[in-house]
Amino acid sequence: MTNTQTYTVSSRIDDRGDIARIRFSPKSGGQIIPFTAGAHIDIYLPDVDLWRQYSLCSDPAETGFYEIGVLKDPNSRGGSTAVHRLATEGAEFKVEGPRNHFPLDETATQTVLLGGGIGVTPMIAMAKRLHALGKDFVLHYCTRSEEVTAFKDDLDGSDFADKIVYHFDDQDDSQRLDLAQDLPAPDPDTHLYVCGPQGFMDWVIGAAEGAGHVPANVHREYFSAEVELSGDSFEVECAQSGITVTIGPNDTIAKALAKEGLKIDVKCEEGVCGTCITDVLSGEIDHRDQFLTEDEREDGDQLCACCSRGKGKLVLDI
């Protein structure tokens, strides 16, 4: 069941690199809904009519507020610029969640966190939790330069500052991230977590799995993705509602069904958040998302209706 609440911006810091650090507190007072490291919240931006997901960087032990970091990205579809414009102190927002599709395995004996740019936000929450548990971990934080490295002052003053390794693109090669040296040897009890731009993530994931780390131990969260939505037409039958539609070359399952009055909740429209996951009863799926794991794709029983397509005919359990 959707849990929508109203939160107020209780503070905002405009940090380095055009990143706004924003704290949300319950409008009605009291405590936030508890969350675990790796979780995100969904924020509704009314003037652009968009829901957007932002990873929480605050301490999971915090009970009074959620904190996010938002990069003002001129190439975004309007979400980040809207947040920067609207999220002034005292402003109210509809918030859903928290949800966690990127959970931290707290049983690991060794954890490596790899954040690229604004992708460091969930890593900060994970680092705080791992430190509280007394776990062995390291946080690799990669940015273009020290001048655009948000959170650095707080991280340098944290109790786990000695666990943080910075990598800046504009400095010499000796301090840049070297996956051949910086990744530990594969081990069943070693877990890797990566978040950042798609190219950065693909590089890290490919290198880690190529070095022998099993996919189940290489955790990833995409905050955006380049997705090709078009393709050959195909048919979708909805078993429960009795609706059958043809999805055209430039349409999506979610949009085509919405025209028939069957609404599937959609948030990111890029296949990264998992909101629109829909059960599939039969048919061959053309997965376009970055949310499902390879094992989940091979099961062939669910898809992201915002972007994935079918080959021939799909029967959905809706």
Q: Which helix (H) or strand (E) holds 111?
A: strand 110-116
pLDDT per residue as tens digits for the range 67-97: 999 999 877 767 899 999 999 999 999 999 9
243 Cβ neighbours under 8 A, 6+ residues apart? 237, 257, 260, 262
Q: Over range 181-202, report the average pLDDT.
A: 95
Classify residue 310 as left (phi > 0), alpha (psi -120 to 50) or beta: beta
pLDDT surpasses 60 at 2:
no
pLDDT per residue as tens digits for the range 159-183: 999 999 999 999 988 899 999 999 9
How far apart are the C-alpha atoms of 195 and 175, rounded to whole Å? 20
**What amino acid is encoded at 171 in this protein?**
Q
Residue 17 to residues 13, 69, 122, 157, 308, Cα–Cα distance (Å): 12, 11, 17, 19, 34
Q: CATH says 4-99 is which class?
A: mainly beta
Does residue 281 sit in helix, strand or coil? strand
Q: Over range 186-196, report the average pLDDT.
A: 97
Indicate if the alpha-carbon torsion angle 275, 281, 286, 287 is positive or negative.
positive
How far apart are the C-alpha atoms of 194 and 120, rounded to whole Å? 9
Residues of the chain with pLDDT > 90, as a percent, come to 77
Helical H segments across the chain, by residue range? 79-86, 121-133, 152-156, 179-182, 198-210, 253-259, 294-299
In the chain, where does the domain assigned CATH 2.40.30.10 lie?
4-99
Q: Over range 284-311, report the average pLDDT.
A: 89
How far apart are the C-alpha atoms of 139 and 112, rounded to whole Å? 6
In the chain, where does the domain assigned CATH 3.40.50.80 lie?
110-222
Average predicted confidence (pLDDT) for the chain: 92
In the chain, where does the domain assigned CATH 3.10.20.30 lie?
234-316
Options 3.40.1010.10, 3.10.20.30, 3.90.226.10, 3.30.70.2190; CATH for 234-316 is: 3.10.20.30
pLDDT per residue as tens digits for the range 121-146: 999 999 999 999 999 999 999 999 99
**Predicted local distance difference test score (pLDDT) of residue 74:** 76
If one looks up domain 110-222 in CATH, what number appears? 3.40.50.80
pLDDT per residue as tens digits for the range 231-270: 999 999 999 999 999 999 989 999 999 899 898 888 777 7
Banded pLDDT at 120 (limits 50, 70, 90): very high
**Predicted local distance difference test score (pLDDT) of residue 294:** 80
Q: Over range 194-206, report the average pLDDT.
A: 94
